[in-house]
């Protein structure tokens, strides 16, 4: 039989082995915790980077445009999207124009909302003159295709709403080449305090048509409304297309720009952009552009 001394020695060795196992387990546990922490930090960093990449595009325009800097308009390739659809007059065109107030978004400049209800679609074209600090633009408002939009634009113009306001945004990328105006605040967030629904070309599609998400070409010389992408979010901001541009057909095209106006826009675009949050080719015009007045002829 083992002696007491032998039993004590055996118990001592057993305790030492248990302590060694516990120490090894604790080292492994600390190592796993450190590795997990590092992996967690890397995942967070990766998520942040992914968020920046995924949300770094301009969600306002939803243009399928190359965001690289273009040295000259002539060097840019032509957009490859489809064309605007042929116009077919909806049965209720101009029958019930409504301009509800935008909750929580008061008018950036005092104005009276335009008349509501039925508005005439004749004359088909209404001439307007847009005088700016950089030159004049002749506009033809397409009353036959977008009477509710023209009704609002004409009302604001006649009230002097656009007078002495800046054109706050210029884009010069191959797929999106526009000058955006109509916000008295000059920040891109202002409006008249009311909104209204899209007309041509949006009204040429069914509301659930997937084609509403596919880009089409808004040709050089198009006058169109800017919006937030939400239904009924047209207000006072509009954009002037000086080079064929790709956008989903969710922006009401309500007129055209004459040759003199396009020459003025080309001059503004040639002066370049002050790079903004959207990139080197999307920001304020390098040469400030101020609307002096818009008058109906």
Determine the pLDDT at residue 101: 98
The residue that leads in pLDDT, 118 or 67, is 118
Clarify whether residues 103 and 163 are in a common domain.
Answer: yes
Give tens-digit pLDDT for 206-253: 999 999 999 999 999 999 999 999 999 999 999 999 999 999 999 999
Determine the pLDDT at residue 32: 42
Q: What angle do CA 204, 210, 214 make, to 5 degrees?
A: 85
67 in any annotated domain:
no
Give tens-digit pLDDT for 253-266: 999 999 999 999 99
DSSP state letter for 75 = G
Q: Is the pLDDT of residue 30 over 90?
A: no
**Beta-carbon count within 10 A of 64 CB:** 16
Q: What angle do CA 110, 153, 239 make, to 5 degrees?
A: 105
Clarify whether residues 147 and 20 are in a common domain.
Answer: no
Mean per-residue pLDDT for 89-106? 97
Mean per-residue pLDDT for 167-190? 97
Q: What angle do CA 91, 96, 102 make, to 5 degrees?
A: 130
Clarify whether residues 50 and 81 are in a common domain.
Answer: no
Determine the pLDDT at residue 276: 86
Determine the pLDDT at residue 35: 38
79 in any annotated domain:
yes
Q: Is the pLDDT of residue 37 over 80?
A: no
Sheet of 82-83, strand order: 82-83, 216-218, 245-247
Determine the pLDDT at residue 193: 98
Bridge-based pairing of strands 273-276 and 253-257 is unpaired
Q: Is the pLDDT of residue 204 over 90?
A: yes
State the Cα–Cα distance between residues 16 and 20, nearest whole angstrom.
6
Clarify whether residues 1 and 137 are in a common domain.
Answer: no
Clarify whether residues 33 and 83 are in a common domain.
Answer: no
291 in any annotated domain:
yes
Clarify whether residues 95 and 238 are in a common domain.
Answer: yes
Q: Tell me the average pLDDT of the chain.
A: 82
Q: Measuring CA to CA, which residue among 70, 84, 86, 72 is closest to residue 220?
A: 84
Clarify whether residues 16 and 145 are in a common domain.
Answer: no
Domain that holds residue 8: 1-55
Q: What angle do CA 205, 206, 212 make, to 5 degrees?
A: 55
Clarify whether residues 160 and 187 are in a common domain.
Answer: yes
Clarify whether residues 146 and 219 are in a common domain.
Answer: yes
Domain CATH for 238: 2.40.100.10
Q: Could you tell me the pLDDT band of residue 296, with boundaries at 50, 70 and 90?
A: very high
Determine the pLDDT at residue 16: 54
Q: Measuring CA to CA, which residue among 164, 203, 180, 185 is closest to residue 63?
A: 180
State the Cα–Cα distance between residues 201 and 15, nearest whole angstrom.
84
Backbone angles phi, psi at 98, to 5 degrees: -125, 145
68 in any annotated domain:
no
- Please say whether the beta carbons of 245 and 175 come within 8 A: yes
Clarify whether residues 250 and 113 are in a common domain.
Answer: yes
Asked whether the CA dihedral 111, 112, 114, 117 is positive or negative, the reply is positive
66 in any annotated domain:
no
Clarify whether residues 141 and 212 are in a common domain.
Answer: yes
Q: Could you tell me the pLDDT band of residue 60, with boundaries at 50, 70 and 90?
A: very low
161 in any annotated domain:
yes
Q: Measuring CA to CA, which residue among 146, 149, 99, 139 is closest to residue 124?
A: 146
The residues facing 243 across adjacent strands are 177
Q: How many helices (H) and strands (E) does the chain have?
A: 3, 14
Clarify whether residues 175 and 260 are in a common domain.
Answer: yes
The residues facing 131 across adjacent strands are 136, 293
Give tens-digit pLDDT for 266-282: 999 999 999 988 899 99
State the Cα–Cα distance between residues 230 and 47, nearest whole angstrom.
28
Q: Is the pLDDT of residue 36 over 70?
A: no
Determine the pLDDT at residue 231: 93
Q: Could you tell me the pLDDT band of residue 79, with boundaries at 50, 70 and 90?
A: low
State the Cα–Cα distance between residues 268 and 48, nearest whole angstrom.
37
65 in any annotated domain:
no
For the chain, what is the domain count?
2
Give tens-digit pLDDT for 104-153: 999 999 999 999 999 999 999 999 999 999 999 999 999 999 999 999 99
Determine the pLDDT at residue 277: 86
Q: Measuring CA to CA, which residue among 72, 78, 57 is closest to residue 282?
A: 57
61 in any annotated domain:
no
């Amino acid at each position: 039989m083992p002696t007491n001394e032998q039993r004590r020695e055996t118990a001592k060795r057993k305790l030492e082995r248990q302590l060694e196992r516990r120490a090894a387990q604790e080292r492994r546990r600390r190592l796993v915790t450190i590795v997990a922490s590092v992996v967690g930090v890397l995942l967070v960093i990766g998520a942040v980077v992914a968020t920046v990449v995924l949300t770094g595009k301009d969600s306002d325009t939803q243009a399928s445009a190359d965001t690289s800097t273009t040295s000259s308009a002539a060097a840019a390739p032509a957009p490859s999207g489809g064309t605007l659809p042929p116009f077919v007059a909806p049965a209720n065109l101009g029958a019930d124009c409504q301009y509800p107030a935008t909750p929580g978004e008061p008018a950036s400049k005092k104005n009276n909302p335009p008349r509501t209800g039925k508005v005439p679609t004749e004359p088909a074209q209404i001439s307007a003159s847009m005088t700016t600090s950089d030159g004049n633009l002749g506009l033809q408002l397409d009353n036959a295709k977008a009477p509710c939009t023209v009704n609002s634009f004409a009302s604001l113009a006649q009230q002097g709403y656009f007078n002495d306001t800046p054109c706050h945004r210029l884009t010069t990328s191959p797929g999106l080449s526009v000058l955006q105006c109509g916000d008295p605040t000059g920040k891109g967030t202002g409006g008249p305090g009311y909104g209204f629904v899209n007309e041509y070309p949006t009204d040429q599609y069914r509301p659930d048509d997937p084609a509403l998400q596919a880009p089409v070409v808004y040709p050089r010389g198009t006058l169109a409304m800017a919006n937030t992408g939400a239904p009924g979010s047209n207000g006072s901001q509009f954009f002037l297309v000086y080079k064929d541009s790709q956008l989903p057909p969710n922006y009401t095209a309500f007129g055209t720009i004459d040759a003199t106006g396009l020459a003025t826009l080309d001059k503004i675009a040639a002066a370049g952009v002050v790079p903004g949050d959207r990139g080197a080719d999307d920001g304020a015009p390098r040469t400030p552009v101020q609307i002096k007045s818009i008058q109906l002829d």
